Amino acid sequence: MKSFQLFLAVGTLSLFWCGVASAHDPVFSPGPHVLYKEGVEVHVGAHSEKAGQEKETELGLELTYGLTGDWAAGIELPYASVEDGADKSNGIGDLRLFTKYRFWRKDSLGRQESAAVLLNVMSANGDDQANPPLGSGTTDALLGFTYGYESLTWYRWTSIRYRHNGEKSGEDSSGLRRGDRWLVDLALGYRPTFPVYLKPDTVWILELNGEKGQRAELNGSTLANTGGSEWFISPGIFWTQRNFAVKAGVQLPIASDLNGNQAESDYRAKLEFEWHL
């Protein structure tokens, strides 16, 4: 009887691990989770942020495909609304192509550790001549590394990313290059109740997100009111029901060291829906 109970417990944990636990990532930073082979993820999200008089809201449709059990790729199509005082613009933002490869994974009973690298490429299709602009006007790339520890109760994630911004071209913006940016993230997740397979599951998440940007340059000369660093504390939630998930959170600034005269961030918020097919 004891052997049967042990077998049943191990089987339940294994089913839960395959269907729910391994699918968790932080809200505002990447995790090492990769979609299963030939799987499809439909992702709809809303992101809003405010800094001084400038407010931006973005709606995005994201499609991801599992090339293998450790490698996924996808595309994000954004629609942006930007306000800066009395000025307002609406339209298509910069399209994003992305891929993630999980190069290491270690499993044990009720526990998993993994690490992955990722690459995002942001196109220049958004209207950068709108007032305020809807796109960067450059092709940018982001390279990152992420590590995650997942158990039935606790989650830990860390990531580091580097964003390289391209140089603008054209009569009105020749020689303008936004500064590159480093992003560092630490996250902790906690599941308050023991998971039950096929039942709703909730994980509470707390993140520490840091950003440090270099100064922008115009024709080789640095611009004073650009670059600097900001830190955020970010509470969030990850709720799942079988192959459907909801992620939500808010970023609250706790420290800022921006160069020159720049508006500090007031808040950033995110709400996302994920569906695995």
CATH code of residue 21: 2.40.160.40
Cα–Cα distance measured from residue 211 to residue 232, given in angstroms and rounded to the nearest whole number? 9
User: How many domains is the chain partitioned into structurally?
Assistant: 1
The amino acid occupying position 127 is D
pLDDT of residue 220: 82
pLDDT of residue 2: 45
**Cα angle vertex 143, ends 255, 268, to 5°?**
35
User: What is the domain extent for residue 36?
Assistant: 2-276
Q: Which stretches of the chain are DSSP H helices?
A: 2-19
pLDDT of residue 11: 42
What is the model's pTM?
0.89
Phi, psi of 271 (to 5 degrees): -140, 125
The CB density around residue 267, as the number of other CB atoms within 10 Å, is: 14
pLDDT in tens, the chain (277 residues): 444 444 334 444 444 444 444 468 999 999 999 999 999 999 999 999 999 999 999 999 999 999 999 999 999 999 999 999 889 999 999 999 999 999 999 999 889 999 999 999 999 898 888 999 998 889 999 999 999 999 999 999 999 999 999 987 655 556 788 999 999 999 999 999 988 878 899 999 999 999 999 999 988 889 999 999 999 999 999 999 989 999 999 999 999 999 999 999 999 999 999 999 8
CB 251 within 8 A of CB 268: yes
